[in-house]
Amino acid sequence: MSEKLVIESVREDGKKFRPSDWIERISANMGTFGPDHRLHYADSVKPGVVNGEKCLIVDPSLESDNPAAYQYIMSFAQSNALRLHLEGDGSAV
């Protein structure tokens, strides 16, 4: 399993980030509607839960597949001081 970038809904100072639906907004923006008329999240950007907290899960392949989207997400996370780590090893990004 490849590592994924996890962007938490918690700021570096420990406070919850608002608005609380930011993960769904970004995920929906990257998703598509299927023939079933339902939203399907992209494999590279989707909501998830890690350690009981809502997070945005970003596949590192997004950086090469869609550099603009990757840069937007990283800039958003950095400008809002959101916690980032790689899934599984807990190291800081």
Query: 41: domain CATH number?
Result: 3.30.70.2340
Token duo for residue 10: 């918690």
Q: Find the length of the chain.
A: 93
Per-residue model confidence (pLDDT) at position 90: 46
In DSSP terms, 7 is beta-bridged to 56, 84
Q: pTM to 2 decimals? A: 0.86
- Tally of domains within the chain: 1
Parent domain of 36: 5-86
Inter-residue contact 24 to 47 (CB < 8 Å): yes
In the chain, % helix, strand, coil (3-state, to 5) comes to: 30, 30, 40
Q: What is the pLDDT of residues 41-86, one digit of tens each?
A: 999 999 999 888 899 999 999 999 999 999 999 999 999 999 999 9
